Structure 1
Amino acid sequence: MSDSTLWWVLAGFTVALELFTGTFYLLMLAVGLAAGALAAHAGLGLAGQLSVAAFVGSAAVVTCYVIKKRRPADPSVRAMRSVNLDVGEILQIDEWNVDGTASVKYRGAQWTVIHRPGNPPTPGAYRIAELVGSRLLVDKV
């Protein structure tokens, strides 16, 4: 079996493995293996093929990682109104506890309310931003 055939088989195996696991990084490594196959077709020796495959695969993985980190993160599912109908509702909080929580009656039950870090807890109207466990995370209106 020629070197290029081995590279193509490895690239195909990596693509198949990526389809089972769903990780995009394996696909980038398959691009590196395909580059190794092209290097074998170009007549480079084994050291050159390995160098090309390693460089292209590593560069593809690093590029995908950098692009993914620069993109803003998806909002928390707990903060989506389509998932939790409490998000966006207004609460009146009259008094905050020393530990930064408050207790309010909402939908016929007592709820513990926490405020978003960095905002001072003051009495007034608050909008529910997210459900964190059994607590309501609120923002000042």
Structure 2
Amino acid sequence: MAPGGLFWWIGAGVLVVLELISGTFYLLMIAFGCVAAALAHIAGAGADLQFTVAAVVALAAVVLLRRSRFGRRKREQASRNPDVNLDIGQTLNVPAWHERRARATYRGAAWDVELAPGEPEDAQVYEIRELRGSCLIVVASRPRKTANATAV
């Protein structure tokens, strides 16, 4: 294999390793461009055509990735994102409401609790949906559906 082709394979390998470290698919798309250029080199294309192939394939792959579901990340506010705030989705008991506000004990401390719009005040258990400063925004906890295991 000629040194020019080796350049493209090494470039693709380095980009794949960097992609594994960073966790982004974009470097992998550029690595596809390097592989395409290496294949163009094997087919006998000149250096200028190899760079063109690398650029076109990488650009097309990035555009396709960007338009796919993997390229669009749904950005959620940190106050509502359970990946950022582990309290989101947890449950607590609220003993009494006063104008849709209350004080409740959660994780061993007293918290201000506010009922989300449209939620009933008569539920036994509430689920935390959002955290605004030191105020928990809650909704009535609904029973989760679980698969019933039946013995045969």
* TM-score, scaled to structure 1: 0.67
In the aligned structure 2, how far is the partner of 1:20 from the partner of 1:37? 23
Instruction: Look up the match of 2:137.
Output: 137
Residue 54 (structure 2) pairs with residue 57 (structure 1): no
Name the structure where strand makes up a greater proportion of residues. Answer: 1
Using the TM superposition, name which of 33-42 and 106-115 deviates more. Answer: 106-115
Matches within 5 A, 1:56-95: 56-67=57-68, 68-69=70-71, 76-77=82-83, 84=87, 87-91=90-94, 92-95=96-99
Q: Deviations over 1:85-113 (max 9, x none)?
A: 972435343224xxxxx341335643122
SS of corresponding position for 1:93: coil
Instruction: Report % sequence identity.
Output: 35
CA contact (8 A) 1:128 1:139 kept: yes
Give the deviation of 1:8 after TM superposition.
Answer: 0.9
Alignment RMSD, CA only?
Answer: 3.4
Q: 1:130 corresponds to which letter in structure 2?
A: R
Name segments (4+ residues, structure 1) moved above 4 Å.
69-75, 83-86
In the aligned structure 2, how far is the partner of 1:20 from the partner of 1:33? 19
Name the structure where helix makes up a greater proportion of residues. Answer: 1
Aligned residues: 130
Residue 121 (structure 2) pairs with residue 124 (structure 1): yes
* TM-score, scaled to structure 2: 0.63
In the aligned structure 1, how far is the partner of 2:19 from the partner of 2:89? 38
SS of corresponding position for 2:99: coil
Gaps of 5+ in 1: 97-101
